[in-house]
């Protein structure tokens, strides 16, 4: 077990962080490119109604999945001394929780179908219950490998599972499976990950259901679980509220628009937060270093995220037409509004791993509670104006939620509001200039076909952003260069 918990002393902590980021984020990029290639192909085959049905099931699935106990694995990363009994106890908690929620979903499936007035929802949920049974065999080995900052093995497993999922998605769509395509692909992904992770981490122990002496784990995991439940209520409130008012087609338009707008926040930021949590846990005693590390992470992440959001808002029309097809054109105003809101969500989700790793999970609970109040209220008002009104709910609610979360977290992390504003400002200035240039060019080429329009606007955006970064954010380029140089040093 020592090999699972100890980190080789000859590697510096900084080089481990760089290597972890390179493997975790790099593999995530490749895996997402694989999945997106399949996803955009499948979107053009399936109907918006299929995605509306799937979104209805996700409102139940995501809620129950937050009870799967992954929060308890975070204690394995934070614990200074790790023994076999503790690992077996966490394993047992995972097995109990996931078996229970799988059964609960089967029981609740008919009620969900009745709530959404759609019988098919019940059938989909019964099959999807099998997803939970794989969770213990993914979460436990992932936590043990993350404790070492060993993301190389995890990256390989994730890439293989992404290939399996993409192949399943394409095959099922071409075979005419319809909405069942959206069920089969994630099922294959998680079960292939479960097998791969258990083999990679060499887990050779059975779970135990005796929890004596596990009080610290239960309390820490319980606090994180509560915050996750509140976060879920916030993020799923839109579908729960919209599913009762919007028809399946308009709900599908909204759901896929949100998927596009949240690509950075949901697909690329979580891997970085995984590494950040492990790193902050190692830096608990050095608050000044933690504050500087947080400011740097915000600066670098927004350096890549902000131009994406601004660009997506500027080219929403041709992008939707080219990527999704003409039948999705009604999603254009929804995508544009959501892209405006997402920078605030991106900053907001960066606070949680820092405060939790520093031993303050209650702050994550408070921030999540604020979101669970703010966002549903915005959606209740917005749904009166259809799917576009739901998007306006994000535009109003996301900045407010971010401000409240920051007020809780900043004193604990060891930074300040002016410092964070300085961290974001270079990317904000360059992105604003890029957006203005793209909008100006779009007026000049109005009437051109969607594909050449998109190609021209993206090219203009890349060039203008690059030039502006050289003018106003040259130090950020140096930080990226330092990371690349450090990565090469580790590889060498």
Model confidence pLDDT, tens digit, residues 34-72: 776 777 788 878 888 888 888 888 878 877 877 777 767
What is the torsional sign of CA 214, 20, 36, 462?
positive
Q: Please report the pLDDT score of residue 296 as a whole number.
A: 80
Model confidence pLDDT, tens digit, residues 211-250: 766 666 666 666 666 666 676 667 677 878 887 788 878 8
Model confidence pLDDT, tens digit, residues 95-113: 988 999 999 999 999 999 9
With beta carbons less than 8 A apart as the criterion, state whether 442 and 457 touch.
Answer: yes
Model confidence pLDDT, tens digit, residues 436-479: 999 999 999 988 999 999 999 999 999 999 999 888 877 766 66
Q: Please report the pLDDT score of residue 394 as a whole number.
A: 94
Model confidence pLDDT, tens digit, residues 394-418: 999 999 999 998 888 888 888 888 9
Model confidence pLDDT, tens digit, residues 337-388: 999 999 999 888 888 777 766 666 667 677 778 888 898 899 999 999 999 9
Q: Please report the pLDDT score of residue 275 as a whole number.
A: 55
User: In the predicted model, is pLDDT for residue 335 greater than 90?
Assistant: yes
Tally of CB atoms within 10 A around 81: 6
d(CA 406, CA 423): 14
What is the SS3 assignment for 81?
coil
For residue 123, what pLDDT band results from cuts at 50, 70 and 90?
very high
Using alpha carbons, select from 17, 294, 8 the residue that is nearest to residue 151: 17
Averaged pLDDT for residues 478-488: 53
What is the SS3 assignment for 327?
helix
Return the percentage of the chain with pLDDT > 70, whole number. Answer: 76
Using alpha carbons, select from 436, 394, 400, 459 the residue that is nearest to residue 310: 436
Of the chain, the end-to-end C-alpha distance in Å amounts to 28
316-323 and 287-314 helices cross at what angle (nearest 10)? 80
Where does 267-416 have alpha helices with state H?
269-282, 287-314, 316-323, 332-357, 361-382, 386-413
Q: What is the 3-state secondary structure (H, E, C) of 181-198?
A: HHHHHHHHHHHHHHHHHH
Residue matched to tokens 């979107």: 43
How is the chain split into domains, by residue range? 13-219, 221-491
Task: Give Cα separations from 183 to 50, 128, 277, 317 (angstroms).
Answer: 11, 7, 31, 29
User: In the predicted model, is pLDDT for residue 298 greater than 50?
Assistant: yes
Residue matched to tokens 């791969």: 196
Q: Please report the pLDDT score of residue 9 as a whole number.
A: 38
Q: Please report the pLDDT score of residue 490 as a whole number.
A: 41
User: In the predicted model, is pLDDT for residue 286 greater than 60?
Assistant: no
Higher-confidence position of 243 and 309: 309
Q: Please report the pLDDT score of residue 382 as a whole number.
A: 92
For residue 4, what pLDDT band results from cuts at 50, 70 and 90?
very low
Element (H, E) at 417: helix 417-444
Model confidence pLDDT, tens digit, residues 268-284: 666 555 555 455 555 55
Contacts of residue 428, Cβ cutoff 8 Å, sequence gap at least 6:
302, 306
For residue 492, what pLDDT band results from cuts at 50, 70 and 90?
very low
User: In the predicted model, is pLDDT for residue 27 greater than 60?
Assistant: no
User: In the predicted model, is pLDDT for residue 485 greater than 80?
Assistant: no
Mean pLDDT of the chain: 80
With beta carbons less than 8 A apart as the criterion, state whether 240 and 57 touch.
Answer: no
Q: Please report the pLDDT score of residue 486 as a whole number.
A: 46
d(CA 411, CA 344): 19
Name, of 192-206, 213-227, 283-297, the range with top average pLDDT.
192-206
DSSP letter at 12? Answer: -
């Amino acid at each position: 077990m020592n090999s699972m918990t100890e980190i080789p002393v000859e590697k510096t902590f900084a080089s481990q962080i760089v290597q972890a980021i390179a493997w975790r984020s790099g593999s995530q990029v490749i895996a997402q490119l694989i999945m997106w290639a399949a996803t955009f192909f499948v979107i053009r085959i399936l109907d918006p109604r299929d995605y509306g049905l799937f979104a209805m099931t996700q409102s139940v699935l995501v809620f129950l999945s937050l009870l799967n106990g992954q929060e308890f694995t975070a204690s394995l990363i934070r614990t200074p001394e790790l023994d076999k009994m503790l690992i077996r106890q966490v394993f047992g908690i995972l097995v109990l929780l996931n078996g229970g929620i799988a059964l609960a979903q089967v029981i609740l499936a008919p009620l969900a179908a009745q709530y959404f007035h759609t019988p098919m929802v019940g059938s989909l949920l019964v099959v999807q219950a099998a997803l939970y049974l794989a969770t213990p065999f993914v979460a436990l080995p992932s936590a043990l490998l993350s404790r070492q900052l060993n993301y190389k093995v995890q990256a390989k497993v994730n890439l293989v599972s992404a290939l399996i999922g993409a192949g399943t998605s394409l095959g099922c769509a071409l075979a005419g499976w319809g909405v069942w395509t959206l069920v089969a692909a994630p099922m294959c992904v998680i079960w292939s990950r479960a097998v791969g992770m258990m083999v990679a981490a060499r887990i050779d122990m059975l779970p135990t259901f005796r929890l004596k002496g596990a009080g610290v784990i239960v309390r820490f995991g319980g606090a994180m679980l509560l915050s996750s439940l509140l976060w879920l209520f916030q993020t799923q409130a839109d579908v729960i509220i919209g599913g009762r008012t919007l028809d399946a087609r308009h709900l599908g338009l909204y759901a896929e628009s949100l998927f596009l707008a949240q690509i950075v926040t949901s697909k690329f930021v979580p891997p970085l937060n995984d590494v950040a949590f492990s790193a902050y846990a190692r830096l608990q005693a050095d608050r000044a270093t933690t504050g500087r590390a947080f400011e740097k992470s915000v600066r670098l992440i927004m350096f890549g995220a902000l131009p994406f959001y601004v660009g997506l808002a500027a080219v929403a029309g041709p992008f939707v037409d080219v990527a999704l097809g003409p039948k999705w054109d009604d999603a254009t105003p929804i995508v544009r509004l959501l892209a405006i809101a997402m920078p605030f969500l991106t900053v907001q989700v960066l606070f949680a791993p820092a405060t939790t790793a520093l031993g303050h999970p209650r702050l994550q609970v408070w921030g999540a509670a604020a979101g669970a109040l703010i966002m549903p209220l915005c959606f209740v008002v917005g749904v009166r104006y259809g799917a576009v009104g739901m998007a306006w709910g994000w535009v109003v609610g996301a900045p407010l939620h971010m401000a409240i979360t920051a007020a809780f977290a900043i004193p604990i992390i060891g930074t300040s509001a002016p410092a964070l504003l300085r961290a974001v400002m270079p990317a904000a200035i360059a992105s604003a200039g890029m957006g203005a240039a793209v909008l100006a060019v779009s007026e000049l080429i109005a009437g051109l076909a969607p594909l050449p329009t998109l190609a021209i606007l993206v090219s203009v955006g890349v060039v203008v952003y690059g030039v502006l970064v050289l003018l106003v954010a040259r130090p950020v380029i140096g930080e990226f260069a330092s990371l690349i140089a450090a990565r090469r040093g580790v590889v060498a």
